[in-house]
Amino acid sequence: MIQDRKLEHIKICLDKDVNTSHNYWDDVILKHVTIPKKDLEDIDIRTEFLGAKLNAPILIDAMTGGHPVAKKINENIAKVGEELGIAIAVGSQRSAIENKELEDTYGVVANYEVPLRLGNLGAPQFALGYGEEEIKRAMEMINAHAMEIHFNYLQEAVQPEGDRVVDGLVDALEPLAKKFILVGKETGAGFDYISAKTLRDIGFKAIDVSGVSGTSFAAVEFYRGGKTGKLFWDWGLPSPYCVIMLRDLNMPLIASGGLRSGLDIARAIALGGNIGGFARALLKYAAKSWQDLKNRVEEIIIELKMAMFLVGASNLEELKNAEYVIKNELRFWI
Ligand SMILES: Cc1cc2nc3c(=O)[nH]c(=O)nc-3n(C[C@H](O)[C@H](O)[C@H](O)COP(=O)(O)O)c2cc1C
């Protein structure tokens, strides 16, 4: 059952080390500026993304739904989205598309005034017949502003019961991208330039890169019994590499995959991302309480402002021009 699988994913992500072996954000060094530009408390981190006004360039990215435990996590995330004025996404809504009784485990997020609420469905389902009706239902379920369509083919390949189908996918998505606001999203193996360009050209409005640096779904599936999970543990494109490659596409970018702190958001924006997406690094707080989650996100906001203070940026536009050095493994990729 999909809902049992989602609970298993949460448990494994809370209990096991499922990170890739290297976090490539550590290879991005922002250059220090001796005299800051503005008082730290006057640094402006507001931004607009997909038409929504955010108080900070932060997305709590897709993780869960489909289970009472997941409902509480989604509610905690939505409450923090409302309190802090940041974007949120729910996890794959497939379980509720297939079983109406599970709708409220996602729909709970619609009770909160979040500036940007993203729904989530998997790309392989669109190669298997999902279309307009499923997107409409998913969006109405959470009163979504836009939909993430996740491309998780590494996970599907490793997962014994995975959907390893892609035939007809792009043709199926094209009319939908003209009707709905769609975001192309990876889940930890990263978006390459050609795939992102393909989606841009059929009308997708943004890309969530979700590259290698944090959660490895090969690792998660390894702990669920996927024998090849170990072999493919570190498979994929590093998150900062994806941001650098995709910035020339001139489309809004969610920099994600391995973000841990406000310093990582600053690195991501300096490289060309628009907002930072966090998943597993916030899961343990979201699973505990909305107050714990809010406290951690507030710390992340201070860390971002500190980094901006120290690179002499008074707003996110100026942060884009911050100078940086790339070292170690990321350097091989560039
Ligand atoms: C417990 C868990 C469940 C996830 N479920 C989904 C999902 O349903 N849909 C999706 O698009 N991504 C899902 N993801 C992937 C994240 O949204 C994100 O792309 C990926 O974990 C990389 O970010 P991270 O390194 O910050 O965790 C999930 C991640 C975690 C940790």
Mutate to test the pocket of ligand 1, among 14, 69, 210, 297 (most ligand atoms within 8 A of CB): 210
Return the ligand 1 atom nearest residue 187 CA.
19
Let me know if 55 is exposed, middle or buried by CB neighbors in 10 A (0-12, 13-18, 19+): middle
The predicted pLDDT at position 6 comes to: 81
Report the separation in Å between the CA atom of 61 and the middle of ligand 1, taken as the mean of its atom positions: 7
pLDDT value at 214 more than 90 = yes
The atom number, within ligand 1, closest to the CA of 12 reads 1
Q: Separation of 250 CA from ligand 1 center, angstroms?
A: 25
pLDDT tens string 299-322: 999 999 999 999 999 999 999 999
Q: Give the number of other Cβ atoms within 10 Å of residue 54's Cβ.
A: 23
What distance in angstroms lies between residue 313's CA and the mean position of ligand 1's atoms?
30
With 90 as the cut, is the pLDDT of residue 3 above it? Answer: no
Region 229-258 average pLDDT:
98
Distance 258 CA to ligand 1 centre (A): 10
Residues in the ligand 1 pocket, defined by CB under 6 Å:
9-10, 13, 61-64, 91-92, 120, 148, 150, 185, 187-188, 210, 214-215, 256-259, 278-281, 283
Q: Look at residue 13 and tell me whether its pLDDT is greater than 70.
A: yes
Strand partners, 52: 49
- Considering the segment(s) 2-333 as one domain, its CATH architecture is Alpha-Beta Barrel (3.20)
pLDDT given for residue 7 in this prediction: 87
Q: What is the DSSP string of 193-255?
A: HHHHHHHHHHT--EEE---BTSB-HHHHHHHTT-GGGTTTTT-S-BHHHHHHHHGGG-S-EEE
194 burial (CB, 10 Å; 0-12 / 13-18 / 19+) is exposed
Cα of 62 to ligand 1 centre, how many Å? 5
Which ligand 1 atom minimizes the distance to the CA of 61? 17
Domain residue spans of the chain: 2-333
Q: How far apart are CA 8 and CA 101, in angstroms?
A: 20
CA of 187 to the centre of ligand 1 (A): 5
Closest Cα to residue 277, out of 111, 5, 63?
Answer: 63
Q: Find the mean pLDDT for residues 25-52.
A: 98
Q: Whole-angstrom Cα distance, residue 93 to residue 127?
A: 16
How would residue 332 be classed by pLDDT, with cut points 50, 70 and 90? Answer: very high
| Mean pLDDT (the chain, rounded) | 97
Structure tokens at 139: 């969006």
Residue 42 CB neighbours (<10 A) = 11
Ligand 1 atom 6: residue of nearest CA: 63
pLDDT tens digits for range 73-92: 999 999 999 999 999 999 99
Q: What angle do CA 223, 161, 88 make, to 5 degrees?
A: 70
How many other CB atoms are there within 10 angstroms of residue 41's CB atom? 7
Is residue 44 exposed (0-12), middle (13-18) or buried (19+ Cβ within 10 Å)? middle
138-192, pLDDT tens digit by residue?
999 999 999 999 999 999 999 988 999 999 999 999 999 999 999 999 999 999 9
Alpha helices in 53-131 (DSSP H): 68-84, 94-98, 104-107, 123-127
Among 63, 95, 125, the mutation site with the greatest number of ligand 1 atoms within 8 A of its Cβ is 63
- Gap from CA of 277 to ligand 1 centroid (Å): 10
pLDDT class for 4, splitting at 50, 70, 90?
confident
Spacing, Cα 43 to ligand 1 middle (Å): 30
Q: Which atom of ligand 1 is nearest to the CA of 259?
A: 26
At residue 17, the 3 state secondary structure works out as coil
The pLDDT of residue 10 is: 95
- Count CB-CB contacts under 10 A for residue 135: 23
- Smallest Cα–Cα separation from 209: which of 181, 182, 180, 243? 243
Which residue among 4, 67, 150, 278 is best mutated to probe the pocket of ligand 1, counting the most ligand atoms within 8 A of its Cβ?
150
| Cβ within 8 Å of residue 292, ≥6 positions away | 285
Q: Which residues pair with residue 222 across a beta bridge?
A: none
